[in-house]
Amino acid sequence: MAPLNKKTIREAAGLMGAAERVYVLSGAGMSTESGIPDFRSPKTGLWEKMDPVKTSSVDALMQDPEQFYRVAFKRYSSLIGTEPNIGHYALAEMEQLGFIRGVITQNIDGLHKKAGTRRLFEVHGHVRTCRCLSCGKRHAMEELLMQLEKDLPLPKCSKCPGMLRPDIVLFGDPMAEDYFAALEALQTDCDLLVVAGSSLSVYPVAAMPGMVSRLIIINLQPTPFDREARVVIQEKCGETLSAILAELKGRPGS
C-alpha cells in the first residue's frame, strides 16, 4: 500500500486545528478495518448480496418475524463481539484533546463508544439494547440473544408477552432521537465537518454535509460531496485519522 500523502494530511490537520467547532460523521467504511463489511462497495457490499427492504425492514420484521430473526438478524448480532480499530481510538483521543466536539455515526456497531468517544450521536441506533413492541420495556441485547440461542422462534419480553426487537433503525423506521440532536449540533455548533467512511448516499444523513460551510472527506470511494470539500482523502479511515491526530498533536500550542 502506498504511503499517505503527507501534504494532504497536513492540509486536513491545518483545517481542523484552525476550526473552533469540529464534528465527525462516520459511516460503514469506518468499521471495515474492524472486520465489519460495508454495504455498497463493489462486489463486497452487503446490499449486493441481499435486498435490504426484504430482509432488514420494519415490514420484514412485522410480516415474518421468524424469518427476520433467522436471516437478517445474524448480520446485527455478529457486530456485538467486534472491537474498535485505530481510527475509532484516534477520534476518541481527538475529542479528549479538544480537536473535535463529537462524533455523529451511521454505524450501529457501538465501536465509537467502546473506544471512548463521549459525545456520540448514534443516528441509526445501536446493538446494545432491545425493546418490547408491546410495553416498550428495554432490555440488554443479551436477553434477546439468549432466547435465540435457546432456539426459541421469537424473543419475548419478560414483563409481558410482547416481542422484542433491536434498538436499531430498520428501513421504514423513524430516525433515532440522536439524529435530531445531531442536526441541531450541526446547525448551531459546527464550522467544519469531517466525513469518515461514508458514501453519503443514504438519506436523510447524506444531506448533513450540505448544512456546514467546510468539509473534509475521508473515504475510499468518491462521494457526491467531493467537489464541495476542502480536502478529499481516498484512503482507509484508520491510518488516515491516526496520521491527522499525530499531525495535530505535533503542532505548536497543541
* Nine-digit cell string for 182: 445531531
Distance CA 215, CA 231 (A): 7
The full set of domain ranges for the chain reads 1-36+84-124+174-254, 39-78+126-168
Q: What is the pLDDT of residue 73?
A: 86
Q: Which amino acid is at 59?
A: D
Q: Quick one: fold of 39-78+126-168?
A: SIR2/SIRT2 'Small Domain' (3.30.1600)
Q: Please indicate whether the domains covering 1-36+84-124+174-254 and 39-78+126-168 agree at the CATH topology level.
A: no
Give which of 109, 167, 111, 182 is closest to 137, Cα–Cα. 167
- Residue numbers annotated as active site: 124
- Three cell numbers at 195? 466525513
Cβ distance 4 to 240 under 8 Å? yes
Tens of pLDDT, residues 112-152: 999 999 999 999 999 999 999 999 999 999 999 999 989 88
Phi, psi of 43 (to 5 degrees): 75, -25
Q: Mind listing the pLDDT tens digit for each residue in 167-207?
A: 999 999 999 999 999 999 999 999 999 999 999 998 999 99
How distant, in Å, are the alpha carbons of 47, 184, 246 from that of 212?
A: 29, 12, 25
**Average pLDDT of the chain?**
91
Amino acid letter, 167:
D
Integer Cα distance of 68 and 50 in angstroms: 13
Q: CA–CA separation, 64 vs 60, rounded Å?
A: 6
Instruction: Write down the pTM of the prediction.
Output: 0.92
Q: Average pLDDT, stretch 19-37?
A: 95
Which residues does residue 156 pair with via DSSP β-bridges, in sequence order?
163
Assigned C-alpha cell, 132: 418490547
pLDDT confidence band for 71 (50 / 70 / 90): confident
Find residue 139's DSSP bridge partners: 130
Q: Where are the alpha helices (DSSP H) in 161-216?
A: 177-189
Query: For 39-43, 169-173, 233-237, 247-251, which range has the lowest pLDDT when averaged over its residues?
Result: 39-43
CATH superfamily for 1-36+84-124+174-254 is TPP-binding domain (3.40.50.1220)
Higher pLDDT, 47 or 143: 143
